[in-house]
Chain A
Amino acid sequence: MLAQLDDVLREYAQAPGALIPVLQIAQAIFGYLPETALKRIAQALDKPYSEVAGVVGFYSFFTRVPRGKHLIRVCLGTACYVRGGKEVLSALKSALRVEVGETTSDRTFSLDVGRCFGACGLAPVIMIDDDVHQRVRPTKLPKILEQYRHHAAETLESAAVGPEAQS
């Protein structure tokens, strides 16, 4: 994976404003941003490590701890909030036995919150990887999670495929 990162760095080394795209690609490669990768990025882009770490810490999309196979983000935008997003979040916390920002012990799911995915008409929504699930009620959660558990077991190595890819 580090070799893959080196290829990316060679391509981006001279481009102005490359840091954030490079971090985004690195996170896609590793699933998170390990320190070795950050150090290599800092070196290749000729930036102090502190600056790279500062950028990583600033943006909520970057994570320095490994995440589960599927990232669940519960929308807490206004429309979802007034339509019960908070209840969905607490149901997920108890179903997965994790807090926001944590990963289940089997590494299947990580739980996070989001700020509006722009699907307010279907509130409350949750996003699992790139799929948006609509009108989620706490009672609907087991079924939704099951699809991904099943999926995670089936395709351990290949990249996640959402319903999008079928169209």
Chain B
Amino acid sequence: MNSTVSDQYRALADQAERARDRQKPGEKILIQIGSATCENAAGSVDVLDEFRKHIAASGREDIVLRRTGCTGRCSREPIVGILVPGKMPVKYERVDRPLVHEIFTRHILQGEPVLARILDGPLEKLSQHEILTCQSNRCGWEGAESLQTALARRLGDLGITPDQVRITAASCFGACGLNQLGTCSHMLVRPDKVLYRVYNEDDLDEILQEHVIHGHTVDRLKVVEKTVGRKFFEMYGDVAFFNRQSRIALRHNGIIDPESIDEYFHYRGFQALSTVLSKGDPQWVIDEVTKARLRGRGGGGYPTGQKWSMAAKAAEKTRYIICNADEGDPGAFMDRSMLESDPFNVVEGMIIGGYAIGANRGFFYIRAEYPMAIRRIDGAIRQCRERGLLGKNILGSGFDFDLEIRLGAGAFVCGEETALIHSIEGERGQPRIRPPYPTESGLWGKPTVINNVETFANITAIVNYGAGWFSRIGTAASGGTKVFALAGKILHTGLVEVPMGTTLREIVYEIGGGVAGGKQLKAVQTGGPAGGCIPAKWLDTPVDFDTLAKAGSIMGSGGMIVLDEDDCAVDIARFFMTFSQDESCGKCTPCREGTTRLLEILDRITQGTGTLADLEKLERLAKLIKKSSLCGLGRAAPNPVLSTLEHFRDEYIAHVTQQRCPAKKCVALVHYEISAEKCVGCTVCARNCPVTCITGARREAHIIDQVRCIKCGRCFEVCRFDAVQRL
């Protein structure tokens, strides 16, 4: 152990803690406002402004505004958290200026939460206490029935109502395996922030009697170790969308101020770096990461420990480490969220990675479409330099390391590692044949490790909580969790972090709340333009790198788009092919020409001029491109076509044999008519028609001129009497 390193770390952490303490956060009312690209787009800047005015007008000095990143609950943003000391934290959704006024006057000044607008509410009443019980299959106790059932029965026997204590099921608190004496389950009491180990029914009785009834903490059963998702559960544990998740990479999202290094220190920031540097053994880090069974989260799923080990063994001593933040997959936004909401965690992960492989220089390659992520990472790097956490002789360890940012310039293919390297070198971002792999010959010909943002975001957790703990979460082949960006026709869009091996059904229904608008789920598209569609009948597929590959899709970076009955499989395939064709860099013929030809065929089919022979051509060509393309982009580009052909062939056949689009999505194959019986002659459709092709007098049935109709569907959308029919 190197005492200099830990002393220096301690001094920095103390300094940060003092700076934080000066603001006395524990004694004040905190108003927490999300600040990230999507939060701002949803209006959080106005919300912040309005709260500022209200605080100033009230003259109160015990109310503090605090900025956090985003929790990944996108469709409900802006989200505001109100933390009154000793009270249950309350979160509000879709906050706007009028609601700020209501929250401020009713909740903050008079102590009455605005129940109608609570996140994932409305709630009838806020209970005084909430007990979260672990539902993870890794947790078990000696009781005959489940902890939740036993708890519910006892509360009933004691005459405690749900108004007083609410019970909620939660996923893993991350306390398993830490210092426990036998099999136990866990439960968290909110708002008291006490996590208990519960071994048997006597323990449960004691906690109820002592803590719930008399208000004394049962120290004997209290978990004193720091656990990974604890702060997140303390804040967001009551929200169904969050409490079924296991947050590791996203553990600080929506909790800490992403622009403050002092805040980050408070949440064990740089402790992992201190541990690593004081051990002074890069191989130890690599061994830990290997033991954790961490696999690359960018999509390839290559074991991270193995990648680091190859670079560390290279004869060449100048080495580089790169964070691939060129999150190009449409529908994936977890990397942006991590960069914006917890930037120091990614930076710390990179410093540790640099140390492990023996690199002194690292690069963030961030896409230019993410201006706020760029600003936050830039700020984090600057603050790290000021505290000596980047630069020469970090924490007195003798290790020199610095980071710089390079911006993408709008080329999807640069997510491919060899193309990304060319881009940093200042060339066209075109891939090259591997081997040699970058770990052997990468940036400027030197050994280079490229990892995705999420991979780096897991590193600090592995060091702080242990490789054994990390590997227990997940599957035999792949440790830890994966973050998915759930979007499309889903009720709750947002970021979902679950253990590897969680089924699609749990993600879509239990966390995502199912399909929006009561429609039927058709398929889940995973892996972006390189992935495929998994049909509804395969919802019980556990999600992992290998299982998704078997289902004809890929994990990719974790985009998960839910498709419903209104989505056409051929149209989706065509959409992705348009993307891949457009983004093909043009270097190799199979990808350049092949994607163009595939797109032409798909265009024909969606136009209604395709033939059955086209389907065979599609399949043959797709397989050929897969086999013969130079890089991952081309090799994966046919996946959306092949997977829809496999699972939704009947739709393709309807398009080519009957010129019919079963989902009524393909514009060329549908037309609109107005039912004379249902039309009341309200004229709304006629007034909204952009080409004025709808005629009819007031209170009389209207008619669409089929020749002039451009099939924009506007009339269909605005008709309140279901008179306009899409046929």
- Please list the residues of chain A having a beta carbon within 8 angstroms of any beta carbon in chain B: 16-21, 23-24, 51, 54-55, 58-62, 76-83, 87, 90, 94, 114-123, 125, 127, 130-134, 163-164, 166-167
Most chain A CB within 10 A, of B327, B408, B487, is at B487
Docked pose: A94 CA to B429 CA in angstroms: 34
From B327, B409, B444, B485, contact of A61 by CB (8 A):
B409
Residues of B within 8 A of A83 (CB): 488
Residues of B within 8 A of A58 (CB): 411, 428-430, 585
Contact A82 B333 (CB under 8 A): no
- Chain A residue at minimal CB-CB distance from B328: A115
Contact B561 A79 (CB under 8 A): yes
Docked pose: A115 CA to B585 CA in angstroms: 15
Q: Does B372 contact A (CB under 8 A)?
A: yes
Contact with A along B578-590 (1 / 0, CB 8 A): 0100010100000
Q: How many A-B contacts are there with CB distance less than 8 Å?
A: 161
Closest 10 CB pairs of A and B: A121-B74, A77-B330, A118-B333, A19-B426, A59-B409, A60-B410, A116-B330, A132-B41, A120-B487, A61-B410
Contact A20 B423 (CB under 8 A): yes
Contact B41 A122 (CB under 8 A): yes
Contact A79 B567 (CB under 8 A): no
Contact A164 B409 (CB under 8 A): no
Q: Does B370 contact A (CB under 8 A)?
A: yes
Contact B332 A118 (CB under 8 A): yes
Q: Does B195 contact A (CB under 8 A)?
A: no
Chain A to chain B contacts (Cβ below 8 Å), 22 pairs? A16-B425, A17-B444, A20-B407, A20-B426, A21-B406, A24-B407, A54-B428, A59-B411, A78-B487, A78-B575, A94-B690, A116-B329, A118-B335, A119-B37, A119-B41, A120-B488, A121-B38, A121-B73, A123-B493, A127-B369, A134-B38, A164-B371
Residues of A within 8 A of B424 (CB): 17, 20
Q: Does B183 contact A (CB under 8 A)?
A: no
Q: How many residues of B contact A (CB 8 A)?
A: 65
B45 smallest CB distance to A (angstroms) = 5
From A21, A78, A94, A133, contact of B330 by CB (8 A):
A78
User: Using a CB-CB cutoff of 8 Å, which residues 379-434 of chain B contact chain A?
Assistant: 406-412, 423-430
Contact A79 B330 (CB under 8 A): yes
Contact A20 B406 (CB under 8 A): yes
Contact A118 B369 (CB under 8 A): yes
B42 smallest CB distance to A (angstroms) = 6
Given contacts A17-B424, A115-B328, A120-B333, contact A167 B407 (CB under 8 A): no
Most chain A CB within 10 A, of B74, B411, B425, B426, is at B426
From B38, B49, B328, B427, contact of A119 by CB (8 A):
B38
- Please list the residues of chain B having a beta carbon within 8 angstroms of any beta carbon in chain A: 35, 37-38, 40-42, 45, 48-49, 67, 73-75, 77, 327-333, 335-337, 368-372, 406-412, 423-430, 444, 485, 487-489, 493-494, 525, 528, 559, 561, 563, 567, 575-576, 579, 583, 585, 690, 712-713
Given contacts A55-B428, A59-B411, A132-B40, contact A82 B77 (CB under 8 A): no
B484 smallest CB distance to A (angstroms) = 11
Docked pose: A74 CA to B333 CA in angstroms: 17
Contact B331 A116 (CB under 8 A): yes
- Chain B residue at minimal CB-CB distance from A18: B426
Contact B428 A164 (CB under 8 A): no
Contact A119 B333 (CB under 8 A): yes
Residues of A within 8 A of B410 (CB): 59-62
From B42, B429, B494, B567, contact of A59 by CB (8 A):
B429
Residues of A within 8 A of B487 (CB): 78-79, 120-121, 123
Docked pose: A49 CA to B528 CA in angstroms: 36
A67 smallest CB distance to B (angstroms) = 14
Contact A164 B411 (CB under 8 A): no
Docked pose: A23 CA to B372 CA in angstroms: 21
Contact A130 B371 (CB under 8 A): yes
Known: A82-B567, A87-B713, A132-B38. 10 other contacts (CB 8 A): A16-B444, A19-B427, A21-B406, A24-B409, A79-B331, A82-B488, A82-B489, A118-B335, A122-B38, A131-B40
Residues of A within 8 A of B75 (CB): 121-122
A103 smallest CB distance to B (angstroms) = 18
- Chain A residue at minimal CB-CB distance from B329: A116
From A51, A54, A120, contact of B74 by CB (8 A):
A120
- Chain B residue at minimal CB-CB distance from A52: B426
Contact B426 A78 (CB under 8 A): no
Contact A118 B336 (CB under 8 A): yes
Most chain B CB within 10 A, of A19, A76, A115, A130, is at A115
Residues of A within 8 A of B337 (CB): 118
- Chain B residue at minimal CB-CB distance from A115: B330
Docked pose: A91 CA to B573 CA in angstroms: 24
Docked pose: A130 CA to B373 CA in angstroms: 12
Residues of A within 8 A of B426 (CB): 16-20, 55
- Chain A residue at minimal CB-CB distance from B413: A58
From A24, A82, A125, contact of B563 by CB (8 A):
A82
Contact A17 B425 (CB under 8 A): yes
Residues of B within 8 A of A163 (CB): 40, 45
- Chain A residue at minimal CB-CB distance from B369: A117
Residues of B within 8 A of A20 (CB): 406-407, 409, 423-424, 426
Contact A167 B45 (CB under 8 A): yes
Contact A81 B45 (CB under 8 A): no
Docked pose: A80 CA to B38 CA in angstroms: 14
Given contacts A58-B429, A78-B559, A79-B331, contact A122 B42 (CB under 8 A): yes
